[in-house]
Amino acid sequence: MTLTVLTDSQIQELLKNLTRSELEGFQKNLESALHEYSKARHAGPKAATAIQQPERVSIYNPVTGATTLFMPSSSETGNAVKVITLSSPGPSFPHKNNSPKPTIRPTGAVTFFRPDGSPLGLLHASALTAFRTALASLSVITHRPVSPTHGSETLVVFGCGEQAYWHVRLTLVTRGKAVGRVIFVARRRSGAVEEVVRRYQGEGRWVGCSFEVVSAEDDDYERRLEKVLRAADVIFCCTPSTKELFDAGMLDETKRRLVVAIGSYKPEMREIPGELVRRALVDDGESHAGVVVVDTVEGAIMEAGELIAAGVKEEQLVELGEIVHPNSVGVLQDPRDRKQDLRQWLQAGNVIYKSVGFGLMDLTVGTYLIQLANEKGVGTRIEGF
């Protein structure tokens, strides 16, 4: 047996140089796994499936002020255990962090095993985590129609880390010239936010797309923020915030938009306003204002602070695995036949996608990445491990 080891820089290069076909291969594999997960959930505990997703375990280190997450998972492709450490939630965006403890960006590793238990790979977790999260968000984005007007779509991004980078990158790759403007909203005009802008501008691939920064340090921050939010077609929230990043009143209720919130992952954390969540759940029996999509219902109910605070119930959520195959699972089997409603929500409504992440994503995307790396001769292979 051979063990494949991939460093973070090797994973970055592999993912940055994906062809459109290779990216579609990743997306197809992830969507298939999410669909099987949702099918198994609706079938009940007696369903015959190899997919197992235990609750993740977390520990807090008072010395570093960081949280470490342990995330096991299994499917027909094998098993995986992810161990990742990151700074615990502190003072919220856009307020400055006065904590003396250094910020620990998400870092760790994922160990992969074949179905028979033999080791398959060891992958650094940073870029892999950001990519797999953005890849899942992409499944929601691609189910919404592209604006026919060239350069008319505006992306607003809270945060400037790897999650922000990959969410924007995958959207640009798939949306192409339909995206004309990307605005990063940052706590301060630091080297980090300038670096993420340079990463895009330096590639020279995104001709016709402008990259801008709105900073909380700007004198007219609130006015500029409201202006860009009202223009936004997609809003990405990629920060570990404990307070809402913006006021729901800043958004024009008549404008159709997608809000993706992936940065908060604990009940006490918040990124999007509770009022925005409540708007998306309005149901008067005849029309619907929008929909809330989640990666896993169980995870969202337990860990998504925005949904918990808004009092969202399990039956009000749509799982991502139900959307990627919208004719055969879950809410679409509802006796009220909400299939057409769901399609209308996704294409013409205000859609919120909330993700707290789970191990099956890492297992599926990482296994496919190991296969690609071996085909391209990237990484270190240890024979007879």
What tens digit of pLDDT does each residue of 240-256 get? 898 999 999 999 877 88
Domain count of the chain?
A: 2
Say if residue 308 is in the same domain as residue 234: yes
- The residue written with tokens 């013409």 in the block is 348
pLDDT at 206 (0 to 100): 86
Stretch 212-226: mean pLDDT: 91
- Asked whether the predicted pLDDT for residue 4 surpasses 50, the reply is yes
Whether residue 134 is contained in a domain is answered as no
Report, as an integer, the average pLDDT of 1-25. Answer: 95
Answer yes or no: do 201 and 285 share one domain. yes
Find the domain containing 106 and state its range. 2-129+360-383
Residue 24 near residue 379 (C-beta atoms within 8 A): no
Is position 311 within any domain? yes
Place of tokens 């993912």: 15
CATH code (residue 111): 3.30.1780.10
137 in any annotated domain: no
* pLDDT at residue 107 tops 70: yes
Same domain flag for 365 and 343: no
Residue among 127, 51, 39, 29 at smallest CA distance from 367:
29
Residue 138 in any domain: the answer is no
User: 170 and 305: one domain?
Assistant: yes
Distance CA 86, CA 240 (A): 10
Same domain, 117 and 69: yes
CATH label of the domain that carries residue 344: 3.40.50.720
Average pLDDT of the residues in 344-369: 88
Task: Output the pLDDT for position 43.
Answer: 74
| pLDDT score recorded for residue 336 | 43
Please calculate the CA angle 26-145-35 and round it to the nearest 5 degrees: 40
In whole angstroms, how far apart are CA 107 and each of 12, 129, 201, 382?
14, 9, 26, 23
Tell me the average pLDDT across 128-149: 84
Quick one: 63 and 180 in the same domain? Answer: no
Largest interatomic CA distance in the chain: 62
Identify the weakest region by mean pLDDT among 50-54, 175-179, 193-197, 259-263.
193-197
* pTM for the predicted model, two decimal places: 0.89
The pLDDT of residue 200 is 83
pLDDT digits (tens, 9 = 90+) for 354-364: 999 999 999 99
Clarify whether residues 124 and 185 are in a common domain.
Answer: no
Percent of the chain whose predicted confidence (pLDDT) is above 90: 55
Instruction: Indicate the range of 40-49, 88-97, 128-137, 312-321 predicted with least confidence.
Output: 88-97
Specify if 139 maps to a domain. no
Dihedral sign for Cα 223, 208, 254, 287, please: negative
Give 335's pLDDT tier (boundaries 50, 70, 90): very low
Whole-angstrom distance, CA of residue 7 vs CA of residue 142 = 30
Cα atoms in the 13 Å half-sphere on the side-chain side of 215:
11
Question: Which amino acid appears at position 131 of this protein?
Answer: F
* Lowest mean pLDDT across 211-225, 227-241, 272-286, 328-342: 328-342
Q: Do 221 and 167 fall within a single domain?
A: yes
Q: Is the dihedral of CA 371, 374, 379, 380 positive or negative?
A: positive
Q: Are residues 117 and 166 in the same domain?
A: no
- Identify the band that residue 92 occupies on the pLDDT scale cut at 50, 70 and 90: very low
101 and 155 inside one domain: no
Q: Which residue has the higher pLDDT, 280 or 214?
A: 214
Cβ atoms of 16 and 131 within 8 Å: the answer is: no
Closest by CA position to 325, among listed 314, 338, 339, 310: 339
Residue 326, CB-side half-sphere exposure with 13 Å CA sphere = 17
Mean pLDDT of the chain: 85
Whether residues 339 and 372 fall in one domain: no
> For residue 167, what are its two tokens?
């969410």
Q: Are 340 and 372 in the same domain?
A: no
Closest CA to 144 of 39, 36, 228, 260: 260
Helix or strand (DSSP H, E) at 107: strand 107-113
